[in-house]
Amino acid sequence: MRIGIVGCAGRMGRMLVNAVLDTDGCVLAGGTERLGSDALDSDLGELVGRDRAGVPVESDARLLFQRSEAVIDFTAPAATLAHAALAAELGRVLVVGTTGLSSDDEGRLREAAERAAIVYAPNFSIGVNLLMALTERASAILADDYDIEIVEMHHRHKVDSPSGTALGLGRAAARGREVALDSVWCKSRDGHTGARPRGEIGFATLRGGDVVGDHTVMFAAEGERVELTHKASNRAVFARGAVRAALWARGQSPGLYSMRDVLGI
């Protein structure tokens, strides 16, 4: 499968280039970077510290989509929307890992998915997707005298908060209780907040150092607490999951899919 990587010089972009080069049955179709990036025109293999791949980093996403059967996008919301429009126009598989999309942005992704198979997930690790399934199950079993709090920590460069994964875990917990997350969430607390409302789903965000991604879902009641935790120690897990999603999406009808569809959980 010919796979292109947009944002190929980013932290995740470089992992994705390596994952495509290391996966049997995949060919690296090319990579793009934003105009002005120092990485433009460098060789994609050399960019990630490997032998020359003979494919230069370019800025024209349309050319990359034309050459690719699937494109993987871990960039930024505005870029991802432009890429989704190209995937819809050219009928290419798109795998989106970008987080921080607004609900309007997600609506535009859904529109693009009427004409292309798009896999969109806040987290492509298998462990986190298992954590989402366990969270939904636990919140269905534990009634709302168990307070749900979601704590996440990421490296100091992360720009959105709470993390897309924390919000995904919140949605899973809300599904378990058959409520809409945005009717019960509390995304941050400061000052005199008053007592915690029953049924609230709270979030706490920590930032620092080089933490790849830690998430804990707590169910706290009088007298006991259940905690479900996942810790990612290497970004390669997200890249491997995204390549697996691209291979899975080949041959799927247009639609918006999640990593849980890919894993069948």
Show Cβ contacts of residue 75 under 8 Å, excluding neighbours closer than 6 positions: 6, 7, 10, 13, 83, 98
Say whether residue 75 binds ligand NAD (CB under 6 A): yes
Question: Is 124 a binder of ligand NAD (CB under 6 A)?
Answer: yes
Grouping H, G, I as helix, E, B as strand and the rest as coil, residue 206 is strand
DSSP-assigned states of every residue in 60-90: -HHHHHHH-SEEEE-S-HHHHHHHHHHHHHH
Q: Is 187 a catalytic residue?
A: no
**Cα dihedral 89→246→161→228 (10° resolution):** 150
Nearest distance from C-beta of residue 96 to ligand NAD, angstroms: 8
Nearest approach, Cβ of residue 26 and ligand NAD (Å): 18
Place of tokens 């930024």: 76
Name residues contacting ligand NAD, limited to 216-255 (CB under 6 A).
Answer: 238
CA dist list (Å): 163 to 22, 169, 253: 28, 10, 29
Return the residues of window 31-70 that contact ligand NAD according to CB under 6 A. Answer: 32-34, 37
Tell me which amino acid residue 41 is.
Answer: D
| Binding segment (CB under 6 A) for ligand NAD, from list 4-12, 102-110, 142-150, 189-197 | 4-12
Exactly one of 18, 23, 99, 161 binds ligand NAD (CB under 6 A); that residue is 99
Closest to 100 (Cα-Cα) out of 164, 189, 57, 151 = 164
Residues 144-163: x where in contact with ligand NAD by CB under 6 A, - otherwise, as a string: --------------------
Nearer to ligand NAD, 252 or 258 (CB): 258
Query: Would you count residue 167 as binding ligand NAD (CB under 6 A)?
Result: no
- Which positions lie near ligand NAD, rule CB under 6 A? 6-7, 9-13, 32-34, 37, 74-76, 79, 97-100, 121-124, 238
Please identify every residue annotated as catalytic. Answer: 154, 158
